[in-house]
């Protein structure tokens, strides 16, 4: 049995909910911690420098723990009734594949930040890397399984959870 794939809208809504639940509190925690530790005019820059490593640490851990578990859902996915599953078996991901999926997402989304560090002769590669996040977001719109690029890398699909007995 092939379950129904999650729509682009449900995926996006789940991402926004997770951003509100995890991302905004992490950013505020970084800003307030640094404001208390180093009250100066450079606090915003310090907060950004502190928040990025927190994001890089917490984002994959949150997704690995939540999506790698029995339900295969972050809080945002639970709210929108979608879940992540293995693309071939539709079974739960497990923590290792879920972590790999989160890392694939990070690599795709950090690409534009790292692209300017490429050697001068790699303008085309730099330009292509710059477009990866937009392609990742839009890919499910034309993909037959509604997979984003990070899903393809990790061999996962996002399905409607009603098809599961959760």
User: Whole-prediction pTM value?
Assistant: 0.81
Q: Establish if 1 belongs to a structural domain.
A: no
Average pLDDT by stretches of 10, the chain with 166 residues: 86 93 77 64 61 77 93 94 95 94 89 73 72 92 95 95 60
Q: Establish if 3 belongs to a structural domain.
A: no
Q: Establish if 2 belongs to a structural domain.
A: no
Give the separation between CA 150 and CA 155, rounded to whole angstroms.
8
Q: What pLDDT does residue 43 have?
A: 57
Q: What pLDDT does residue 28 have?
A: 75
Q: Establish if 149 belongs to a structural domain.
A: yes
Q: What pLDDT does residue 1 have?
A: 55
* Domain containing residue 63: 8-163
DSSP the chain: -PPPBPPHHHHHHHHHHHIIIIIHHHHHHHHHHHHHH--STTHHHHHHHHHHHHHHHHHHHHHHHHHSSSS---HHHHHTTEEEEETTT-----HHHHHHHHHHHHHHHHHHHHGGGS-TT-HHHHHHHHHHHHHHHHGGGT-TT---HHHHHHTEEEEEGGGS--
Q: What pLDDT does residue 139 have?
A: 95
**What residue has token string 């851990």?**
61
Q: What pLDDT does residue 60 have?
A: 87
Q: Establish if 31 belongs to a structural domain.
A: yes
Q: How many domains is the chain built from?
A: 1
Q: What pLDDT does residue 35 have?
A: 65
């Amino acid at each position: 049995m092939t379950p129904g794939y999650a729509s682009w809208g449900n995926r996006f809504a789940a991402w926004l909910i997770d951003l509100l639940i995890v991302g905004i509190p992490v950013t505020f925690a970084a800003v307030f911690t640094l404001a208390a530790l180093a009250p100066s005019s450079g606090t915003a820059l310090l907060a950004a420098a502190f928040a990025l490593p927190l994001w890089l640490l917490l984002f994959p851990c949150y997704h690995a723990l939540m999506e790698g578990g029995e339900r295969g859902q972050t809080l945002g996915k639970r709210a929108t009734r979608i879940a992540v599953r293995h693309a071939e078996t539709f079974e739960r991901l497990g923590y290792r594949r879920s972590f790999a999926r989160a890392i694939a997402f990070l690599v795709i989304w950090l690409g534009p930040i790292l692209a300017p560090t490429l050697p001068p002769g790699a303008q085309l590669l730099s330009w292509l890397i710059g477009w990866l996040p937009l392609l990742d977001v839009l890919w499910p719109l034309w993909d037959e399984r509604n997979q984003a690029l990070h899903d393809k890398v990790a061999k996962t699909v996002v399905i409607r959870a009603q098809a599961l007995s959760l």
